[in-house]
Amino acid sequence: MKEKEELLTSLQQGSKTALATEISEDTIFQKTEVTGKFDYTRSVFLANQMQDEAPVWRVLTPMVMSDNQEIVVDRGWLTSPQNRLNPDISAYREGSSEKETTIKGVIRKFPENKGLFKGADTNVEPYVLLRMSEEAIPTSTVNRNKNVYIQATTATHPNLKAEISLPLPPSRHKMYRNTWLAMALLLPLLSVGLLRRKSA
């Protein structure tokens, strides 16, 4: 919640622009522009994300920059594929790894996956992530910029929509929370009522 509120405030106020060499946890939520070569062969899907209140899948691809450092780029989102257990990612792995690409975007921080019961990082296919996990994205011999990634605003594929959507304001989150709380309290009462009717 705090991360979303900070992003919302940063985008509303107009964030600063960080150079590629300045990308770190100290520059999260700042805009940036980087040039590098995508390693399309290591692209992965991030499944079941919410965008405009609808489930979508995002495409993440490592980019090797000119200083031989790499950073993960969230290239945008597409509607959920029909085959969710074994989706076809081949179209998003196409492209020349020798061609330099310049993208703009916002620096984001990978979420911390804490807890003993956090579950698996991927589904039956290793290239389908069930949550935003840096450890599940394939690495190479190039040093990766740790803990942060870029959410792109530059389109890199005709089927991907690259944009920064403003997070829901706190009032909307509270509304959803209260709705689910009311439902959680109501279900036991309905169950008791049904049991009494059956025993009557």
CA distances from 174 to 1, 3, 5, 20, 179 (A): 11, 16, 13, 37, 8
Structural domain total, the chain: 2
Range(s) of the domain holding residue 175: 168-200
Q: Are residues 162 and 172 in the same domain?
A: no
> Which residue would you say has higher pLDDT here, 95 or 174?
95
Q: Is the pLDDT of residue 192 over 70?
A: no
Give the chain's count of helices (H) and strands (E): 2, 8
Helix, strand, or coil (residue 54): strand
* Residues of the chain above pLDDT 90, percent: 21
58: tokens are 């995002």
Q: Are residues 80 and 172 in the same domain?
A: no
Tell me which residue of 90, 56, 71 sits closest to 161, measured CA to CA.
Answer: 56
Q: Are residues 64 and 103 in the same domain?
A: yes
Q: Are residues 67 and 82 in the same domain?
A: yes
Quick one: how far is CA 66 from the chain centroid?
25
Interatomic CA distance for residues 140 and 155, integer angstroms: 24
Average pLDDT score over residue span 74-95: 80
Confidence band of 172 (pLDDT split at 50, 70, 90): very low
The kind and range of the H/E element at 188 are: helix 170-199
Q: Are residues 18 and 117 in the same domain?
A: yes
Q: Is the pLDDT of residue 118 over 80?
A: no
Q: What pLDDT score was predicted for residue 180?
A: 54
Helix, strand, or coil (residue 171): helix
Q: What pLDDT score was predicted for residue 2?
A: 57
